[in-house]
Amino acid sequence: MNEPSKPAGTPPAPGAAHAAAPGTAVAARASVIQLVFKEKGALYAAYIPLFAEGGLFVPTTRDYQLGEDVYLLLALPEDNQRYPVAGKVAWLTPANASGGRTQGVGVRFPGDEKSRLMKLKIEEILGTQISSAKPTQTI
């Protein structure tokens, strides 16, 4: 079955495989994931304070590799702004993980100033809840 033709220069659909001419390389593009936290409890469950740079748990059924680039678009509770964060997969929670854990990945923020400010903003939102013993989706 042939695919319908597209005008030259039309970008491929998201997630579409890229075919390269022989002898050329195609750089892998980072996944873009929108993460919307409407409540502080959900942000608490996803936040990873053990990462020095900060990080978040992202529930997903997609297969990722450790070290893979992931681009997050974050929406925080009571904040209409979207915050872009270019992170890396730092741990994997597989399907059917013990303890009923949700399948997904832990994304570590980079060690740049923008991410440092994002970590501080998240910790400010969570306040004293950050030191709670309540279980989370993270390590």
Of residues 138 and 127, the one with the higher pLDDT is: 127
CB 102 within 8 A of CB 95: no
N- to C-terminal Cα separation, the chain:
46
Segment 3-23, tens digit of pLDDT: 444 344 433 333 333 333 344
Give the angle 74-47-53 at the CA atoms, nearest 5°. 85
CB 42 within 8 A of CB 75: no
CB 49 within 8 A of CB 128: no
Segment 19-48, tens digit of pLDDT: 333 443 434 567 899 999 999 999 998 999
Segment 98-125 mean pLDDT: 91
Phi, psi of 22 (to 5 degrees): -55, 135
pLDDT at 17: 35
- pTM recorded for the entire structure: 0.72
Segment 53-70 mean pLDDT: 94
Give the angle 69-120-108 at the CA atoms, nearest 5°. 20
CATH topology of domain 31-131: Thrombin, subunit H (2.40.10)
Would you kindly state where each structural domain of the chain is located, as residue ranges? 31-131
Segment 74-102, tens digit of pLDDT: 999 989 899 999 999 998 999 988 888 88
